[in-house]
Chain A
Amino acid sequence: MTSSSVPVRGSVWRGKVATGALRVGRSLWSTPSGRAALLIVGTFLLIAALAPVIATFGPLERVRGAHGGLARLLPPSVTHPFGTTNFGRDVFSQVVWGTRRTLTIAGIAALATALIGLNIGLIAGYLGGKVDAVLMRLADSAYAIPFLPLALVLVGIFGRSDMVLVLAIAALFWRTTARVVRSQVLSLKERSFVKAAVVSGASRRRVLYVHIAPNVASLAILYGMLLVAEAVLAEASLSFLGMAPPNTVSWGTIMFDAFTSQEMRRAWWWPLFPGLAIMLFVFALSLLGRAHESLQRRRLETSP
């Protein structure tokens, strides 16, 4: 028997998150709606990355017209595709810069939240008993606390900052991921391959992170994606209520400026485009979620 090159040893996690995400992405690309959604999300990511190149003006730059006056409340045109604000700011550039800011905050918040939720779900589901009871009561409390009031209170106490935004999201939104992961772990725990791992002498940590966790990874990735959508909406809502740090530009703050300026009556373009960006991005993410679900279902139906 030749010892072939398949290594039996080594961490199962090595490179697994990256390849896992790649595998999820590749299977999503195979469906039409998944492909459309990936294209939209990819475009937004590109815009966020290349914001300085794409934006024609600075985020807070006050644009002056040919005669030296401020370019106030101009309707959409070639120079200003999304029009301008009452301070002569270019809405298109603001939306581009806002993409970068919104996606960064939402991405960080979603990552933190998904990791918290994943681990709480894993531990609660696997250990069960009192640990589970305590963690699930905590999750119940997190469900009971409404997000926006909590976030407002946190801003009221700690002031307007990005940290507070991320904290408010992470403090509550872990609950859904934790519950879903927990119920998945509860069912995996009863599957005989996990019992087989216990019988073969694996430690609790080994069973949890080598045998169970990789099997909930794709679920965690899906919920991470949906969390980005929730975080975008949360950030935008708070910013719209004027809770973003001063002198920052995100999709929500543009809407806030438009609303408080009392100029919406004249400048319909001002609130239209940032809202459209939010809608498009969140819709694309939900499309990804749906494509993922239908792929899962198809996999279930075709497996023997």
Chain B
Amino acid sequence: MALLHFTARRIAQMVVTIVIIVPLTFLLFRAVPGDPGAAVIGPDLDPSVAETLRERYGLDEPLAVQFTRYLGGLVQGDLGMSFQYKQPVGDILLGKLVNTAVLVVPAITLALVLGTALGALAARRRGLLDALLRNGAFVAKASPVFWTATLGLLLFSYRLEWLPSIGMSTPGQGAAGAGPALFASPDFWWHLILPLAVMTLYLVPEPMLTMRTAMAEIMHEDFIALGRAQGMSTARSTYLHAARNAMLPVVSLMPALTGVIIGGQVIIETIFSWPGMGRTIVDAVNTFDYPMMQGVFLLTALMAVAVNAVIDVLYAYLDPRVRLS
């Protein structure tokens, strides 16, 4: 019951956040310097054509009317037409989203599993191993992802020639395009290794350091000492009780990580020519494809909002102190 109440409250908060973000985005793209319609109609048009288009898109109407129309479109999944592709933005992004997901979902999973395991290990062992792991994590955190990606390319693709350097598949070989056929081919998995490794390395320090700190703190809590006095084995008290409590800060870290994940994804997709959402927004900026920019931006922001809400509810489910207060 309490959890249901919490979930309802969190959804209400999510709606408030969306209500802030959507109009801001709308206004932002109306602020394009020069012709106020440029963001919708496209650059470098013949003035008379631009005039007709402006009327057709209703750009001479008041902002409020435009916003209502814009909202109506959003609700139906209409994100406008891409200047570059001459296709609906929504259709293009759907394919790109899948490509992004096949890289980012395994990376997050790997980073969480590795991070919590290494963090717990560092907290348990202390000493040299801890110092190595901890400083390694700080070095990894300080390294910009485009640098580690570049070094990875230099070593594994150029020098050793073990791994392919760009794209999701070798041109003219195996299955082209997206879809199940592509993901089934070994060639695709071959291409996935390097970007996935770089992304995982980029994401692993945060959960690891959080887990380590939380474990170290919880090992000092009275209930751990009491467990030992009750004859509990060290392994049981560490991995059952301490780790279970230490996972909570790791879960609550996730919302703050979404921005980091998306940023890393943009850069990695650019470097490895991975045809996902991140690369698409960089291309859109370079080609002044405003509807595309807006589409990617809104979609990522809304997804981040939704994911954060889900994580908060998950956290409440895991921690009775939040759920039952």
Hey, which bits of chain A sit against chain B, CB under 8 A? 137-138, 140-141, 143-150, 152-159, 172, 176, 229, 233, 236-237, 240-243, 255, 258-259, 264-265, 268, 271-272, 275-276, 278-283, 286-287, 290
Contacts and interface: CB of A to CB of B under 8 A. Distances in A.
Contact of B301 (A149, A159, A258, A271): A149
Contacts of A158: 31, 33
Nearest to A267: B154
Contacts of B308: 140, 143-144
B314 interface: no
Contact of A156 (B17, B147, B151, B290): B290
A279 B150 contact: no
Given A137-B20, A153-B28, A146 B33 contact: no
Given A143-B308, A241-B266, A152 B144 contact: no
A237 B285 contact: no
A271 B267 contact: no
A40 to B, nearest CB: 11
Contact of A271 (B29, B147, B286): B147
A145 B139 contact: no
25 contacts: A137-B17, A144-B21, A144-B308, A145-B21, A145-B304, A146-B258, A149-B297, A150-B297, A152-B266, A152-B293, A152-B297, A155-B285, A156-B288, A156-B293, A233-B144, A237-B146, A237-B263, A242-B286, A255-B147, A259-B150, A264-B158, A276-B147, A280-B142, A282-B141, A283-B139
B271 to A, nearest CB: 7
Contacts of B256: 143, 176
Contacts of B17: 137, 140-141, 144
Nearest to A233: B144
Contact of B266 (A148, A172, A287): A148
Contacts of A255: 146-147, 150
B146 A240 contact: yes
A290 B141 CA distance: 13
B270 interface: yes
Interface in B133-155: 138-139, 141-147, 150-151, 153-154
Nearest to A229: B142
Interface string B295-325: 0110011001100100000000000000000
Contacts of A145: 21, 259, 301, 304
B144 A236 contact: yes
Given A149-B301, A156-B285, A268-B154, A282 B142 contact: yes
A258 B146 CA distance: 11
Contact of B16 (A137, A155, A229, A264): A137
Contacts, number: 148
A265 B305 contact: no
Contacts of B285: 152-153, 155-156, 243
- Give the secondary structure class of B's interface: helix
Given A275-B151, A279-B139, A286-B138, A146 B267 contact: no
B322 to A, nearest CB: 15
Contacts of A140: 13, 17, 308
Given A144-B21, A259-B150, A153 B293 contact: yes
A278 B16 contact: no
B143 A279 contact: yes
B281 A149 contact: yes
Given A152-B282, A153-B293, A264-B158, A144 B305 contact: yes
A276 B288 CA distance: 33
A287 B142 CA distance: 10
Contacts of B300: 146, 149
B266 A149 contact: yes
Nearest to B155: A268
A137 B32 CA distance: 27
B262 interface: yes
A147 B259 contact: yes
Nearest to A175: B256
Contacts of B153: 264
Interface in B236-266: 255-256, 258-259, 262-263, 266
Contacts of A272: 151
Contact of A149 (B143, B151, B296): B296
A242 B29 CA distance: 21
Interface string B21-41: 100000011011100000100
Contacts of B293: 152-153, 156
Nearest to B25: A153
Contacts of B13: 137, 140
B42 to A, nearest CB: 14
Contacts of A159: 33
